[in-house]
């Protein structure tokens, strides 16, 4: 969920239901946010399609049987409404009407199962003629991408030695949009499958997916910022990311019709996993005994099931009010698009989408394996946990910043899921859910009476903190292991060396010294690659073989038994021709 400022955490009950928007005090407690700006009140009618919009226009979900909805759509038009969009595959119509009696009338139409208002405020005029988000000027991305604490905490940096993720794995970021021009995101951005679903209708214009806040861009960097020697690295820097903007501009509200549009898009466009760091506005919890909220539950549930049926797993933030989702009592933040009122609720009332069946719910860790003070919790609700405090990632305009929240924990889990999908082609959403649970590292309850359950599964951390290295089916190789993950540019007709200092190994190197090499370079026939021992002895690994093939990702075995193990070892790469360049991406030694 969204952070309002850099370093802020999105509050579960804050206006605009980003999973981390309200500021967090030094103690970690959520600071109450200012009242929400009411959507649509100040908007003027657009210059085009102005006849379609009128003050008092509200949005409704009209639920019918999946399939041909032409008869119900005709009834919408005949009863004072217009069809804004429709999703026949799940039997959901998004209707607009300025008539106060529209919903009641439509509930009496043959074939209509449910009707519910999705807002307590007017639909903005912008819905009929949406402005494209800004395309910000880009700052120069700083060189260097040190491994950050959140990545090492879940062993993502070790998992990269196994895989950085497959470009055939597509991840959908359902959020405030993504700055696709950011130099750390552009290499992995998939514009062809990006869209805006603001207002509940796909807008496929170029750039419609761009960020109207900064939250979605921050999430995107944690998932898949490129391993390019700049800024930061995402958990799965080899996968592809698509932006599905479900937030509306000006207020960053995520109404039900927007989420429905996003999930259907995810299913139809082959997203293996989606990131959902928000709850569906304007209700913090949707209660089935409320006629409007019941329709919201059904509509979003159908869309989620549709996406899952198409092979997509949804992962969502638990929220940031330090609230027990398994023992709900009150909701004082809803509706957040008009005037919130305090109401009594029960566990039948759901935070959507995070509490829908099939959705993976993510809690936030603070430092190490502690519970982040703001993170929601709940026995049987939380599935896994991940770092969510002071996470440094990309923000629009080529910049970087720190945010906290379960919004920031969720993309770590999404990245791990993307690595799992990369190493398990054809994996189903159910299997992916199971693997996310089994790879997580158990965390016992702290001295906090609210935490119930066992170390294997409890109300604070679910199955535990995700572990990227375990997820990709590997563990650190046996024996002493050393690596250098820094990038070293390989220029034309030049030599470059990447060093590793070995210490703590007694005696000589083995006769079966393992040298793991990850070199990104087009036309590897240009390259000679050598291992240089501490005394300067050169062991050739490959010499201008491979022709026009790209990249050397291989483990070589070297008889280095005559060499003292401890000291400075180097990987030396010599480029012997023009036109093709690259980099030493990573390399390692196993003694």
As given in the structure block, the two tokens for residue 323 are 């609230």
DSSP states of 304-316 as a string? HHHHHHTT-EEEE
Q: Could you state, in order of their start, the residue ranges of all structural domains in the chain? A: 58-117, 149-472, 481-590
Pairing assessment for the beta strands 273-276 and 170-175 based on DSSP bridges: parallel
> What is the model's pLDDT at position 479?
65
**pLDDT of 512-561, one tens digit each?**
898 989 898 999 999 999 999 999 999 999 999 888 888 887 889 999 99
**pLDDT of 178-212, one tens digit each?**
999 999 999 999 999 999 999 999 999 999 999 99
In the set 96, 182, 215, 521, the catalytic residue is: 215
> What is the model's pLDDT at position 30?
33
Q: Is 80 exceeded by the pLDDT of residue 318?
A: yes
Burial of 146 (0-12, 13-18, 19+ CB in 10 A): exposed
> What is the model's pLDDT at position 16?
62
In the set 150, 175, 180, 351, the catalytic residue is: 175
DSSP-derived secondary structure letter, 273: E
> What is the model's pLDDT at position 478?
57
Active site residue 175: yes
Closest CA to 205 of 119, 109, 295, 130: 130
Contact 362, 384 (CB under 8 A): yes
Reported as a pLDDT band with limits 50, 70 and 90, residue 19 is: low
In the set 214, 407, 422, 459, the catalytic residue is: 407
Residues in Cβ contact with 372 at an 8 Å cutoff, skipping those fewer than 6 apart:
28, 363, 364, 365, 366, 388, 389, 404, 406, 409
Q: pLDDT exceeding 90 applies to what percent of the chain?
A: 80
Active site residue 407: yes
Contact 90, 264 (CB under 8 A): yes
Chain centre to alpha carbon of residue 60: 28
Q: Is 50 exceeded by the pLDDT of residue 14?
A: no
Burial of 430 (0-12, 13-18, 19+ CB in 10 A): exposed
Pairing assessment for the beta strands 313-317 and 360-365 based on DSSP bridges: parallel
Count Cβ atoms below 10 Å from residue 342 Cβ, excluding itself: 9
Q: Is 60 exceeded by the pLDDT of residue 13?
A: no
- The CATH number that domain 481-590 falls under is 2.60.120.260
d(CA 64, CA 386): 39
Domain 149-472 belongs to what architecture? 3-Layer(aba) Sandwich (3.40)
> What is the model's pLDDT at position 518?
84
**pLDDT of 63-96, one tens digit each?**
999 999 999 999 999 999 999 999 999 999 999 9
Return mean pLDDT, the chain.
Answer: 90
CATH number 3.30.70 is the correct assignment for the domain at 58-117: yes
Active site residue 518: no
**pLDDT of 476-518, one tens digit each?**
445 687 888 788 999 999 999 999 999 888 889 998 898 989 8
């Amino acid at each position: 969920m969204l952070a309002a400022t850099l370093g802020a955490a999105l509050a579960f009950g804050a206006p605009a239901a980003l999973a981390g928007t309200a500021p967090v005090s030094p103690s970690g407690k959520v600071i109450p946010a200012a009242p929400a700006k009411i959507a649509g009140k100040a908007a003027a009618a657009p210059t085009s399609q102005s006849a379609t919009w009128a003050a008092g226009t509200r949005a409704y979900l009209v639920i019918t049987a999946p399939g041909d909805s032409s008869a119900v759509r005709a009834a919408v038009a005949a009863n004072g409404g217009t069809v804004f969009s429709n999703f026949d595959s799940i039997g959901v119509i998004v209707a607009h009407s300025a008539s106060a009696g529209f919903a009641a009338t439509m509930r009496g139409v043959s074939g209509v199962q449910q009707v519910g208002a999705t807002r307590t405020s007017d639909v903005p005029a912008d819905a009929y003629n949406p402005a494209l988000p800004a395309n910000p000027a880009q700052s120069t991305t700083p060189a260097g991408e040190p491994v950050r604490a959140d990545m090492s905490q879940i062993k993502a940096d070790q998992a990269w030695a196994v895989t950085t993720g497959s470009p055939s794995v597509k991840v959908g970021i359902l959020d405030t949009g993504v700055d696709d021009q950011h130099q750390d995101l552009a290499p992995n951005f998939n514009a062809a499958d990006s869209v805006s679903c603001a207002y509940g209708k796909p807008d496929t214009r170029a750039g419609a997916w761009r960020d109207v806040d900064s939250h979605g861009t921050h999430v995107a960097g944690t998932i898949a910022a490129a391993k390019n020697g700049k800024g930061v690295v995402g958990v799965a820097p080899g996968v592809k990311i698509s932006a599905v903007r479900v937030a509306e501009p000006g207020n960053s509200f995520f109404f039900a019709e927007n989420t429905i549009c996003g999930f259907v898009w995810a299913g139809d466009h082959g997203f293996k996993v989606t990131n959902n760091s928000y709850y569906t506005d304007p209700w913090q919890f949707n209660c089935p005994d409320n006629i409007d909220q019941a329709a919201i539950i059904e509509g979003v549930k159908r869309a989620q099931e549709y996406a899952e049926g198409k092979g997509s797993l949804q992962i969502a933030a638990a929220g940031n009010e330090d609230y027990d989702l398994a023992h709900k009592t009150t909701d004082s933040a809803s509706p957040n698009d008009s005037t919130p009122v305090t109401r009594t609720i029960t566990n039948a009332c759901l935070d959507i989408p995070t509490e829908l069946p099939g959705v993976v719910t993510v809690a936030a860790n603070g430092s190490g394996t502690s519970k982040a003070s703001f993170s929601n919790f709940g026995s049987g609700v939380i599935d896994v946990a991940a770092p969510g405090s002071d996470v440094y990632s990309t923000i629009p305009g080529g910049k970087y910043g720190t945010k906290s929240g379960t919004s920031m924990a969720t993309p770590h889990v999404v990245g791990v899921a993307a690595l799992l999908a990369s190493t398990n082609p054809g994996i189903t959403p159910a299997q992916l859910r199971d693997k996310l649970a089994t790879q997580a590292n158990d965390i016992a309850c702290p001295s906090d009476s609210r935490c119930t359950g066992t170390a294997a599964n409890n109300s604070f951390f679910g199955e535990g903190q995700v572990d990227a290295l375990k997820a990709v089916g590997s563990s650190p190789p046996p024996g002493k292991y050393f690596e250098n993950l820094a990038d070293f540019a390989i220029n034309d007709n030049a030599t470059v060396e990447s060093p590793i200092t070995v210490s703590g190994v007694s005696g000589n190197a083995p006769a079966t010294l393992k040298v793991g090499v990850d070199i990104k370079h087009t036309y590897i026939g240009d390259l000679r690659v050598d291992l240089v021992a501490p005394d300067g002895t050169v062991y050739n690994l490959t010499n201008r073989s491979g022709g026009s093939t790209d990249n050397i990702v291989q483990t070589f075995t070297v008889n280095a038994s005559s060499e003292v193990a401890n000291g400075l070892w180097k990987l030396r790469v010599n480029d012997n021709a023009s036109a093709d360049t690259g980099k030493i991406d990573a390399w390692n030694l196993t003694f």
